Amino acid sequence: MKKIGFIGLGIMGKPMSKNLLKAGYELTVNDLNKDAVKEVVACGAKEGKTNAEVAAASDIVITMVPNSPQVEEVVLGDNGVLCGAKKGTIIVDMSSINPIVSKEVCAKVEKAGCFMIDAPVSGGEPKAIDGTLSIMVGGREEIFDEVKDILSAMGSSVVRCGDIGAGNTTKLANQIIVAVNIAAVSEAFVMGKKAGVAPEAIFNAIKGGLAGSTVMNAKAPMMMDGNFKPGFRINLHIKDLNNCLDTAHKVGAPMPLTSSVMDMMQWLKSQGKETLDHSAIVQYYEYLAGTDIRR
């Protein structure tokens, strides 16, 4: 069985790494947060003191870090993955980053005799915990085939979308649809409340029809309960939408809806709400309407 390195034990990476241990993989881990490292080591992993040390102990290295600069630092920087990786090592970047950066990092990885795929995820902390993430992959088909079983230990859906960068492009599309969907649910429920119809009644009436969605089913109850404990934080969604807008500008794609939701999220950030779940978009509408949709 392949030896795996895992770098990045945050809100997503920690449960993902634990699922790899449950599946029987030998794991070496590293993170700036040493408490997180200790927790995963207590579950059976080994600690790598540096990212290079993690790579030296591994056939496949998974990275799960916040954004493009962190991926570049972890993979290409001093004591980074390429400093310790053997020829033929596969780097699986599961971070959500700019697909253009994925392509640039991959080119340097391949120049060093290694391989890389991008494999960002969707589903938030709950699905990271129960191993049912949706995983979108970009990269060579033969490399995807080598790591598919490993990815399947962390996700219930693992789909190759194309060559390197296609995973992150697909993730950006996912994040656009999720953000606009949450905003639409917020807008509709606040309108309903102002017009005298209980948001819960609206939810129950429409969830089985064409307007129903996984997003609404997950986020509407949180909105109505005032439960904004983060499954996916606003500041992370801002990061993703920044990557969406940057990519769209470079390829010439219009983004009017995404730009509008970005403004809502930036307002929430200005109010000190950036660590709340992205379902807190409803608070933007509630503020403007002078009401709330609590049940």
Report how far residue 240's alpha carbon sits from residue 261's, in angstroms, rounded to the nearest whole number. 12
Angle at CA 38, nearest 5°, toward 36 and 40?
70
Q: Tell me, yes or no, if 171 is annotated catalytic.
A: yes
DSSP E strand stretches across 81-199: 90-93, 115-118, 121-122, 133-138, 155-162
Q: How far is the CA of 79 from the CAs of 34, 61, 72, 152, in angstroms?
A: 17, 14, 12, 29
Report how far residue 252's alpha carbon sits from residue 70's, in angstroms, rounded to the nearest whole number. 26
Report how far residue 11's alpha carbon sits from residue 16's, in angstroms, rounded to the nearest whole number. 9
Report how far residue 219's alpha carbon sits from residue 279's, in angstroms, rounded to the nearest whole number. 6
DSSP 265: H
CA atoms within 13 A on the CB side of 205: 9
Catalytic position from the list 14, 18, 127, 171: 171
State the maximum Cα–Cα separation within the chain, in Å, rounded to a whole number.
Answer: 65
As annotated, the active-site residues are 171
